[in-house]
Structure 1
Amino acid sequence: MTLRTRVVAVVIAALTVGVAVLGYLHLNDREQNDLRSAALASATQYTEELATYDFGDPGANLDRVTAASTEEFAGTYRDVSTKLQDLLTTGQGTATGHVVAAGIVELTDDRATVAVFLDQQVRNLAAPDGRTDSSRMIIELERSGDRWLLASAEPR
């Protein structure tokens, strides 16, 4: 094997390795972007579901939220919702939540932390014409199979 043949073989091997590394990095970057997009979409949807309720059918909110939650959060949310149902019914409360902005704080393959800015249109006997409440929340998500589940929601 001549020197020229060896140099060509080394260059071809280096190019092959370089292309393989770039391909791997591109694929990994795309997977992270897909995880990020799915986490943001899930956090947005779940926050809006948490902030949307109607005294006429309080079970609908409970069902939507618990269906998208980890077992632990679903149990906690069920307990809190049950305790607040009388207040909601007595006050004839309704609300619709709308996420104004959301961003990833931290992301791994199986956990995500999302900061969410929420506007909630609230109407009840104390505010019959309605009002808008703005708030911030930290949403924790856990990955289960191919979907994100709501693990916690903390107002900030």
Structure 2
Amino acid sequence: MNADEKARWWSRNPRRLVSVLAAFTAVAAALAATLYVTTYRPDQRVDDDVRAAVTDTASQGAVALLSYTPDTVASVVDTARGRLTGEFLDYYSKFTTEVVVPAAQESQVATEATVAAAGPVDVQADTATVLLFVNQTTTSAAEPEPATTATSINVELTRSGDDWLISGFDPV
């Protein structure tokens, strides 16, 4: 069947053309509904209170993880572990025990972190990512003059019951 014959066939059978168009419309509507329910709606179920909670949790967690003195580093690390979960908790526990605590005590390192700005990047029902802009001031026995650094950190959070716990902490 050539193109002219196909065009004449469709023009002689307008009901078939309408039926085919109706079928395509139904498929498109079903696809749109599926995308709405699976992609758009989960994001809409997260309200502003949840966005504020994850942003606050990420900000407070960053300050807790990055602020300590030589005298408080061991207890700060122990307390900070309560804000963490998953593989990040395992990594943090090992890294702070083997590196941070001994170095801070031996070299008299003190650091204070502040969050200059924070915003949620992606918030779902049970997971979230928050971007933080952190300023950190550090002193040590070797460098008693405060040195300030600025960094951006992607903080991943996972819901655990009613709480949000940090499950990832990645400088950008």
TM over 0.5: yes
Runs of 4+ in 1 over 6 A off after TM superposition: none
> Match of 1:102?
118
Q: Which residues in structure 2 correspond to 1:1-150 (within 5 Å)?
A: 32-84=47-99, 85-150=101-166
Question: Does the 8 Å contact 2:59/2:132 carry over to 1?
Answer: yes
Residue 72 of structure 1 deviates from its aligned partner by 2.9
User: More strand per residue: 1 or 2?
Assistant: 1
TM-score (norm. length: structure 2) = 0.70
Q: Distance in 2 between matches of 1:49 and 1:79?
A: 17
Show structure 1 runs of 5+ residues with no match: 1-27
Residue 29 of structure 1 deviates from its aligned partner by 6.3
Paired letter, 2:77: L
Residue 57 of structure 1 deviates from its aligned partner by 2.4
Q: Distance in 2 between matches of 1:75 and 1:62?
A: 13
Show structure 2 runs of 5+ residues with no match: 1-42
Query: How many residues are aligned here?
Result: 129
Residue 149 of structure 1 deviates from its aligned partner by 0.3
Rg larger in 1 or in 2? Answer: 2
Q: Distance in 2 between matches of 1:73 and 1:66?
A: 10
Partner deviation per Cα, 1:5-30 (whole Å, 9 max, x = no partner): xxxxxxxxxxxxxxxxxxxxxxx968
Question: Does the 8 Å contact 2:46/2:123 carry over to 1?
Answer: no
Q: Distance in 2 between matches of 1:64 and 1:154?
A: 20
Equivalent residue of 1:54, what SS?
coil
